[in-house]
């Protein structure tokens, strides 16, 4: 099996699957953008996700992780897919806690010192990942690396662990709603996650 990741083909797959869109979008931060990644459209297709997961598993292998953790909801499927290419690796997911952080529920446990990789579909600010890092450390584990299908961050991330991303996306514009040029042009605003 090949671990080479083809950026050009990746963009084609994202567009064809509907995981990458252009238009006028309301982001979860409340800001507006002319581009949007809805990676659930990629992860719903195992045949399309498989090469991404294999390539990311290869990048994470040198970190010697024993467990892959995905933040709910977007990281669950990618974490599972990546773990399927790492023999003997188990996969867990962390969920929102009552306090607003992330927690392990459903009987999931991490052993003291256990080597963990956190896998997310897309990293923007890293806030979800930072909450999972905290949950792993609180459980006694050690986060060795964060893996992502897409890194669309444009500033400092909210975690310090190394980030291995398959596709790095830069310069995606976003605006405060009062300054949005698309609003001024009358382009209809959409909420892709609705």
Give tens-digit pLDDT for 7-19: 899 999 999 999 9
Phi/psi of residue 122, nearest 5 degrees: -140, 140
Give tens-digit pLDDT for 64-122: 999 999 999 999 999 999 999 999 999 999 999 999 999 999 999 999 999 999 999 99
Domain 46-172 has CATH 3.40.50.2020: yes
Confidence of residue 175 (pLDDT cuts 50, 70, 90): very high
Q: Report whether pLDDT(193) > 80.
A: yes
- From the list 34, 37, 53, the residue with the least C-alpha distance to 45 is 53
Sign of the Cα pseudo-torsion (71, 156, 139, 49, in order): positive
Mean pLDDT of 171-184: 94
Global confidence as pTM: 0.90
Phi/psi of residue 152, nearest 5 degrees: -115, 20
Is the CB of residue 157 less than 8 Å from the CB of residue 131?
A: no
């Amino acid at each position: 099996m090949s671990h080479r990741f083809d950026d050009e083909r990746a963009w084609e797959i994202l567009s064809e699957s509907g995981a990458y869109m252009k238009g006028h979008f309301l982001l979860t931060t409340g800001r507006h953008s002319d581009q949007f990644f809805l990676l659930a459209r990629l992860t719903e297709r195992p045949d399309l996700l498989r090469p991404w997961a294999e390539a990311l598993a290869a990048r994470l292998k040198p970190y010697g992780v024993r467990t892959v953790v995905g933040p709910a909801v977007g990281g669950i499927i990618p974490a599972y897919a990546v773990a399927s290419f790492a023999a003997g690796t188990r996969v867990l997911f962390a969920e929102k806690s009552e306090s607003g952080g992330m927690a392990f529920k459903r009987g999931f446990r991490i052993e003291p010192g256990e080597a963990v990789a956190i896998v997310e579909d897309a990293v923007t600010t890293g806030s979800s990942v930072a909450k999972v890092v905290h949950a792993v450390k609180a459980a006694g584990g050690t986060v060795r690396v964060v893996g992502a299908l897409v890194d669309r961050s444009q500033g400092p991330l909210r975690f310090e662990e190394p980030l291995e991303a398959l596709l790095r996306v830069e310069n995606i514009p976003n605006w405060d709603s009062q300054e949005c040029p698309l609003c001024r042009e009358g382009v209809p605003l959409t909420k892709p996650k609705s």
